[in-house]
Amino acid sequence: MLLKKLREEVLEANLELVKRGLVLYTFGNASGVDREQGLVVIKPSGVDYDVLKPEQMVVTDLHGKIVEGEFKPSSDLDTHTLLYREFLDIGAVVHTHSEFATSFAQAGLPIPAFGTTHADYFYGPVPVTKVLTDEAIGGRYVHETGLAIVERFRQGGIDPMAVPACLVNGHAPFAWGRNAHDAAHNAVVLEAVARMAYRTVSLKANADEVSQALLDRHYFRKHGAKATYGQ
């Protein structure tokens, strides 16, 4: 069985999404990449989380060609593989339809950086993509979804490791990280900050985002060469 350890890590990430209430039924998926071998491990499409096993994970190359697996890969595979090809520092991708982050995506709105909880994980607002054209939707839709994410980051000059998530307009969020555990963790935090942002604007529609000084203080205490948080 190829990539046994990575299969186990990807399975654990998928189950974490269920445990934290980010997915219903077979919604959502997680994947991981082995950069040395150029191979991706991803959840099979439509298989119930209750019965998922490491050997059921599907292995593909970075262009989505199946290398090993008896099941069809997640229908979002082309988005995952495109993100791996374009964002070279990421090691895993998670896609959910979590309630609050998806609400922002459906509204076509970014998630503002209202406070320090957000700043601990995302160095600025979580962006939202442009609306996909009818042509994109009718063509290679899943591939076009990935292109829209990459385009948003490139045009906005956003570092995908500093803001490890994006909302797909009218759809739902994608998150990523250095490994499968990290990506699932970021997806869980994304939903938490989306919930807080929703409640913030419910209380005060014109609430100000956190100051640059406070954003810097909280983000860089956890990230970068001078991080001080943790052991």
Active site residues: 120, 229
Dihedral pair phi/psi, residue 73, rounded to 5°: -70, 165
Rounded to whole angstroms, how far apart are CA atoms 40 and 37? 9
Task: Return the amino acid letter for 59.
Answer: V
Cβ-Cβ contacts under 8 Å for 100 (sequence gap 6 or more): 191, 194, 195, 197, 198
CB 9 within 8 A of CB 183: no
Q: Tell how strand 39-42 and strand 66-68 pair up.
A: unpaired
Dihedral pair phi/psi, residue 63, rounded to 5°: -115, 10
Dihedral pair phi/psi, residue 58, rounded to 5°: -105, 135
> Is 101 in a helix, a strand, or coil?
helix
What token pair was written down for 8?
């186990």
Rounded to whole angstroms, how far apart are CA atoms 134 and 147? 15
Residue in 154, 208, 13, 196 with CA at minimum distance from that of residue 92: 13
| Torsional class of 10: left (φ above 0), alpha (ψ -120 to 50), beta (otherwise) | alpha
